[in-house]
């Protein structure tokens, strides 16, 4: 069967159209792995105490990873522990995440202690860097007081059940999880891998992403195979607001803010009208109280600090030969030590902060305010009797009112006789804040 030249061209055109239609219907090549590997990895870093601000940050990171359909959320963790409520908020967010969450205890020298144990075991993939450790998850009273025996047993049993349920859900060593809570067991990265507490040990992030490529995990949406070999990594940082709130939640910073608040308000009350010290003091005090809500504050320590301030003020008003000052120093040191009631060193106020704070407080009250009180007393002696007969100089013409310089201060003055600028005058009477003068 022969075709004409025009017929051959039409046939080739039909074949070409058919091929294009078939390719469009078939869609892109079935490179599911390559499509998955193109998804980005969202990475965040949690370093320091686990508090409500950190919990909010992790929660927003999980939400963003889900909204952007990231391959996974990589959480670099280094924490000595923190608040139980904040830790549980993070764990709930990880367990309910639609995107796989990988917790990586890093860099070398980092730790996942206390609350960090719960967060690590809750991850879809738990990894550690060489030279890190995990454990010591025994609960402590973080409410500003010591727990009695029965309450301690209840809290411990609750923490054991919670951590064991997390370990069982992720297929990790529930027996060690119980020991980490009851006996504060702590182990190295290699020991954690051997005991089945974590999934792998990786020297750096690149090695970690290569190691978990192709790993099967199960999220709330079902099973999923990780494709991380060529996935780009995007870091997510805390916002300015979160960084600021996280910084003031540090016990040392909260302590300093509280003292600045007391200083500002006291200065404003002792010198009404200054305004600026009162405004700054009020802001500092509110920020300190915000930080205290996430710290184990002992109110006996707070009362001792207030007593110390009262004793320092008393030293300015009463001749005690230093007894009130010594009492104030002792009360402030004890109050500073007792203010944050926690067995963990990272939750207590450092000596390197307490000693300078006490010294500056003593200087502030005994030197700064002492000079102010002395000046105030000197000014109080310059009443009608103290000013009568003092000589001065007319700074302006008095006809009959003007200004005179008496005792190094400018005064409004009045004279029954004209006085030229520069002439010597003498005070004859005091009428409120105005002097009555005449030529000397």
Catalytic residues: 114, 154
DSSP 347-380: GS--HHHHHHHHHHHHHIIIIIHHHHHHHHHHHH
Q: Which residues contact 290 (CB under 8 A, 6 or more apart)?
A: 245, 248
C-alpha separations of 419 from 92, 391, 422, 426 in Å? 85, 14, 9, 11
Q: How far apart are CA 301 and CA 295, in angstroms?
A: 13
C-alpha separations of 194 from 122, 123, 393 in Å? 18, 18, 92
299-316 as b/e, with b when 16 or more CB fall inside 10 Å?
eebbebbebbbebbbbbb
> What is the number of helices (H) and of strands (E) in the chain?
17, 16
Q: Considering only CA atoms, which of 383, 416, 390, 415 is closest in space to residue 402?
A: 415
Per the structure block, which two tokens stand in for 419? 């006085």
Sheet with 72-78, edge to edge strand ranges: 200-201, 125-128, 101-105, 72-78, 41-47, 233-235
Q: Considering only CA atoms, which of 402, 141, 433 is closest in space to residue 425?
A: 402
| Coil, helix or strand at residue 107 | coil
Contact (CB, 8 A) for 398 and 413? yes
Q: How far apart are CA 22 and CA 175, in angstroms?
A: 58
Neighbours of 341 (CB within 10 A): 22
Residue 107: cis peptide before it, omega within 30 degrees of 0: yes
**Residue 121 burial class via C-beta count within 10 angstroms: exposed 0-12, middle 13-18, buried 19 and up:** buried
Q: Which residues contact 281 (CB under 8 A, 6 or more apart)?
A: 260, 261, 262, 263, 264, 265, 266, 267, 268
Instruction: Determine how β-strand 125-128 pairs with β-strand 200-201.
Output: parallel
Q: Considering only CA atoms, which of 122, 137, 230 is closest in space to residue 178?
A: 137
């Amino acid at each position: 069967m022969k075709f004409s030249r025009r017929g051959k061209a039409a046939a080739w055109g039909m074949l070409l159209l058919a091929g294009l239609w078939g390719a469009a219907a078939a869609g892109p090549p079935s490179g599911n792995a390559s499509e998955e590997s193109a998804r980005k990895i969202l990475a965040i870093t949690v370093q320091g105490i686990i508090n409500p601000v950190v919990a909010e940050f992790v929660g927003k990171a999980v939400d963003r990873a889900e909204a952007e359909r990231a391959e996974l959320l990589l959480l670099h963790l280094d924490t000595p522990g923190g608040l139980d409520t904040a830790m549980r908020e993070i764990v709930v967010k990880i367990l309910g995440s639609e995107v796989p969450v990988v917790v990586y205890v890093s860099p070398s020298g980092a730790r996942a202690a206390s609350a960090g144990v719960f967060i690590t075991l809750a991850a879809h993939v738990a990894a550690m860097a060489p030279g890190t450790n995990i454990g010591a998850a025994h609960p402590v009273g973080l409410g500003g007081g010591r727990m009695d025996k029965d309450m301690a047993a209840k809290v411990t049993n609750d923490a054991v059940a919670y951590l064991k349920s997390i370990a069982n859900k992720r297929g990790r060593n529930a027996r060690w999880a119980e020991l980490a809570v009851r006996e504060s067991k702590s182990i190295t990265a290699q020991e954690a891998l051997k005991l089945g507490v974590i999934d792998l040990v990786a020297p750096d992030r690149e090695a970690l992403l290569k190691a978990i490529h192709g790993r099967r995990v199960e999220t709330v949406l079902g099973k999923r195979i990780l494709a991380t070999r060529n996935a780009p990594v995007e870091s997510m940082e805390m916002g300015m607001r979160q960084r600021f709130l996280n910084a003031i939640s540090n016990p040392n910073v909260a302590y300093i803010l509280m003292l600045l608040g007391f200083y500002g308000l006291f200065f404003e009350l002792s010198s009404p009208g200054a305004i600026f010290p009162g405004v700054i003091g009020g802001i500092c005090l509110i920020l300190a109280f915000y930080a205290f809500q996430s710290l184990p504050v002992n109110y006996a320590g707070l009362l001792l600090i207030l007593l110390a301030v009262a004793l320092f003020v008393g030293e300015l008003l009463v001749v005690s030969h230093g007894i009130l000052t010594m009492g104030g120093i002792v009360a402030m040191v004890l109050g500073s030590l007792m203010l944050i009631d926690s067995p963990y060193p990272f939750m207590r106020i450092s000596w390197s902060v307490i000693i300078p704070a006490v010294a500056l407080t003593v200087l502030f009250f005994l030197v700064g305010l002492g000079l102010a009180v002395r000046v105030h007393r000197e000014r109080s002696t310059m009443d009608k009797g103290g000013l009568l007969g003092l000589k001065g100089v007319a700074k302006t013409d008095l006809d009959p009112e003007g200004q005179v310089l008496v005792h190094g201060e400018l005064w409004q003055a009045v004279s029954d006789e004209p006085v030229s600028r520069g002439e010597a005058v003498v005070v004859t009477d005091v009428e409120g804040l105005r002097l009555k003068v005449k030529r000397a």
